[in-house]
Structure 1
Amino acid sequence: MTARRTVVTGLGVVSSIGNGRSGFGAGLREGRSGAGPISFFDTTGFAHDRMCEVPDFPDGDSEQGLATRMTVAAARMAVEDAAVSLGELRDVPGLISIGTTDGDARDVDVLTEMELAQGLPHLDPLLAKRFRMSRMPLAVAADLGLSDVEAITLPNVCAAGNYAVGYGLDAIRSGEVDFALCGGGDTPNRKVFANMYRLGALAPDACRPFDADRKGVVFGEGAAVLVLEALDFALARGATIHAEVLGYSLTCDAYHPTRPLQEMVTECLRGALADAGVAPHEVGLVLAHGTGTKANDPMECAALAEVFGQGAVPPVAAIKSMIGHTMGAAAAHACTAAVLAVQEGFLPPTINHRVLDPECPIDCVPNTSRAGRPDVVLVNALGFGGANAAVVLGRYTP
């Protein structure tokens, strides 16, 4: 059986540098930084207090947590961007796959110190409901009125967004569904912040991927959803095609709780290119995992050198320098940036860059976006526990 081609027809984004296709795209082009002081909990006692928060996000449904509301908003924007009627989607089988790390766990921060001082706090039943990550894709389905869909949550930590896109690609290729809403949503909470702080992985001021003076991650929040369609379904309804999902690959090594194994990252990247039928020299841009940590960046650069050859690695951008590490949404944000780069002809920058680390001998598109025409973009994502995922997106050609 010949696998059906899968295309991207809609983009929806909530981020700290801009919302929607145009807002997010403008933020990437301008090299905006979303970083600022944390507002949602008291940071007394922490030496660092920076995060990329989404400004002025509307309240939405009071029965949903913030991550779910952001994901629902991104999905609604994506469907609008795809210019597809909900009636068309309700008439065919579909999929909603959402990646996340913590879901709506931030809502636990509403428990006050007074409640905690009284012993085990009373947990509101409505609050308890929000802890179930399975509610995120179900909320999207309910908001759009879609009933003939599979709704799945993929909690594959920082690689979850790529897992969600790969899941959708498989479902469309096989003929199981005609469309898929794929992406991720996340909002860090005090617990996650404290954990990464104790690990010494948080940057005091800014995320500086590949920089000699990099000091770690800055958290971010938001959501991104892509509308994927079978090519025949998209053409039949006269859709505007933004890009094509060419292939993906997953590996899991369980080598170390936080440090990916280079050999398995290399295997994942090569597997994605093989699945896409793309040669390394055809790739015009890599959107790196690029966390800005001392251990991750040189490892990722070494894996890219294995895949592309020394001195032959294409430009490598790390958008976490702008939007922070949005955890389960990070790879979905990167896939969205990849589509925009292909469609609009530019390379997103790696901002906050001062001096390139000799262990990271790449062109990281420092500080300023660049005009370019990447026909193929490789998106890399690495999750704790060795969950690696890579997606290849490219320019659509009939």
Structure 2
Amino acid sequence: MPATDRTRVVVTGIGVISSIGNGRDGYLAGLRAGRCGVGDVTFFDTEGFAHARMHEVRDFVYDEDRTEHGLTTQMTVAAARMAVEDSGYAPSSLRAKRSLVAIGTTDGDARDVDELTADEVRKGLADLDVVRASRFRLGRVPVAVAKEFGLTDVEPIALPDVCAAGNYAIGNAVDAIRSGDVEVALCGGGDTPNRKVFANMYRLGAISPEACRPFDADRSGVVFGEGAAVLVLESLESARARGARVLAEVLDYNLTCDAFHPTRPLRDMVTACLRGALENAGVAPSEVDLVFAHGTGTKANDPMECAAFAEVFGDTPIPPVSGIKSMIGHTMGAAAAHSCVAAILAMEHGFLPPTVNHGVLDPDCPIDCVPNTARPARPRTVLVNALGFGGANAAVVLREYED
């Protein structure tokens, strides 16, 4: 369907929790400063690991009065509250809408599994914390967001599409709004890594001992991060009717899945995903001003992703590429949503977020990765790439809003 004949879907609110800053102002300041939120792991005993670094959110306080929610859920609810406030929606107005809550997550509140396992060893099954045992199901995260606002005419769904889950959530919201099934959507992602996830990747040799350094010749792996990012999406007609400020337009998205390898995406399918997103959006490669890479900082991912970019852009120079996992870590199910919020802030405030911790560019990654320092610019059209285990790929195209 031609883009001019479709319902235009716009972003009217954003909320974010991250290791470099919370809320639109805190996150914006962190991105512009090229802040890196990495530090030593504090939430589990790291004895036996030669190194244990992570991007923990140091300034988010867990609410002990809301023990029905784990840390991931509380962060996601907090990001959703920020997004709704940013959108200008009064809670009563939001409750009157047919709505969708779509939250991508890899592990949800699986950090509770670590605690329950330790409790079982110490005390046995009979004395396990029933509340803690009930709250790590992934579906509880979007339900908690819906309950926070008292939404009743709502579909809450969790998208466990691993590290591409945030873009899957946004695509799901776009489809629901265009089909007329819902009037407004709260979508994005939230995750907090646990000991199990860290240990798995550590055993694979994929964890960097120091920091994530995408596209660098001496990169040594990924570093996990935690946090949440939520966007308010609605039709342009809805936004106009209530006099809302429009932050950006979601032109379209695309998904592919190759099931080629558990941890190694197939380049041809990544290329197809990116090309399909641009084609669906009606955007020529030459129109893209900025790309947010998946950019994990692993030896396998970065050259493959850069080769996919070269195929997609062809004779057109590859636009600048930001690798923000260098700043916020790999936030798993929230990663793509964090990138989409960063893209909106970049368009709104006129800059290119940097790829920090950068020394020497890998010859196999011949791109402009905006090394170390944010750059003044006017990105108008942004392509956000996200890749997940098992070949679950998702790309979203955002554009600066034009009336």
Higher mean alpha-carbon deviation, 122-131 vs 261-270, is at 122-131
Partner of 1:42: 45
Match of residue 92 from structure 1 = 97
Counterparts of 1:149 and 1:21, CA distance in 2: 26
Change (3 A) 1:147 1:210: same
Q: Which residue of 2 aligns with 1:384?
A: 389
Aligned residues: 398
1:325 aligns with 330
- Matches for 1:2-17 after TM superposition, within 5 Å: 2-17=5-20
Structure-1 separation of matches of 2:23 and 2:353? 16
Q: Kindly report which structure 2 residues correspond to 1:61-210, keeping only aligned pairs within 5 A, or say none.
A: 61-111=66-116, 113=118, 115-116=120-121, 120=125, 122-210=127-215
Whether the 8 Å contact between 2:343 and 2:382 is mirrored in structure 1 is yes
* Distance in 2 between residues matched to 1:90 and 1:321, nearest whole Å: 38
2:254 aligned to which of 243, 249, 255: 249
The reply to whether residue 271 of structure 1 matches residue 276 of structure 2 is yes
What secondary structure sits across from 2:390 in the alignment? coil
Q: Give the deviation of 1:86 after TM superposition.
A: 1.4
Deviation, 1:310, is 5.4
With the length of structure 1 as denominator, give the TM-score of the two structures: 0.98
1:52-72 deviation digits (Å, cap 9, x = unpaired): 000131222211000000000
Structure 1, gaps ≥5 residues long: none
Contact kept, 8 Å, 2:119 with 2:128, in 1: the verdict is no
What's 2:290 paired with? 285
TM-superposed CA distance for 1:84, in Å, is 1.1
Given that residues 4 and 175 in structure 1 are in contact (C-alpha distance below 8 angstroms), is that contact kept between their aligned partners in structure 2?
no
Letter of the 1:77 partner, please give it.
M
The amino acid across from 1:262 in the alignment is R
CA contact (8 A) 1:9 1:241 kept: yes
Does 2:65 correspond to 1:58? no
For structure 2, the residue ranges without an aligned partner over 5 or more in a row are none
247-256 or 108-117, which deviates more = 108-117
- Please state if 1:372 is matched with 2:343: no
Change in 2 beyond 3 A, CA 1:142/1:117? closer
Q: 1:122, CA displacement in angstroms?
A: 3.8
Which structure 1 residue ranges, 4+ long, deviate > 4 Å from structure 2?
A: 117-121
> Which residue pairs with 2:231 in the alignment?
226
Query: For residues 59 and 310 of structure 2, what CA distance do their matches in structure 1 show?
Result: 41
Structure 1 residue 90: Cα displacement: 1.4
Deviations 1:175-206 (A, max 9, x none): 11111000000000000000000010000001
Does structure 2 retain, via aligned residues, the 8 Å contact 1:111–1:121?
no
Deviation for aligned residue 1:49: 1.2
Letter in 2 for 1:298: P
Q: Does 1:32 find its partner at 2:30? A: no
1:339-378 deviation line (CA, Å, top 9, x unaligned): 1111111100000000000000000000000011111000
| 1:274-313 equivalence runs, <5 A | 274-309=279-314, 312-313=317-318
**RMSD after superposition:** 1.3
User: Matches of 1:219 and 1:121 in 2, distance apart?
Assistant: 33
Contact in 2 for aligned 1:12/1:21 (Cα 8 Å): yes
Structure 1 residue 112 displacement after superposition: 6.6
Measured against aligned partners, the alpha-carbon deviations of 1:114-133 in whole angstroms (never above 9, x if no partner) come to 64156557432211211211
Secondary structure class of the residue paired with 1:385: helix
2:359 aligned residue: 354
Q: Mean alpha-carbon deviation: is it higher for 83-92 or for 326-335?
A: 83-92
- Which moved further from structure 2: 162-171 or 109-118? 109-118
User: Post-superposition shift, 1:25?
Assistant: 0.7
Structure 1 window deviating more from structure 2 (309-318 vs 136-145): it is 309-318
User: Deviation per CA, 1:17-40, whole angstroms, max 9, x where unpaired?
Assistant: 000001001100000010000000
Distance 2:55 2:226 in 1: 6
Answer with 108-117 or 237-246: which moved more: 108-117
> C-alpha displacement at 1:263, in angstroms?
0.2
TM-score computed with the length of structure 2 as normaliser: 0.97
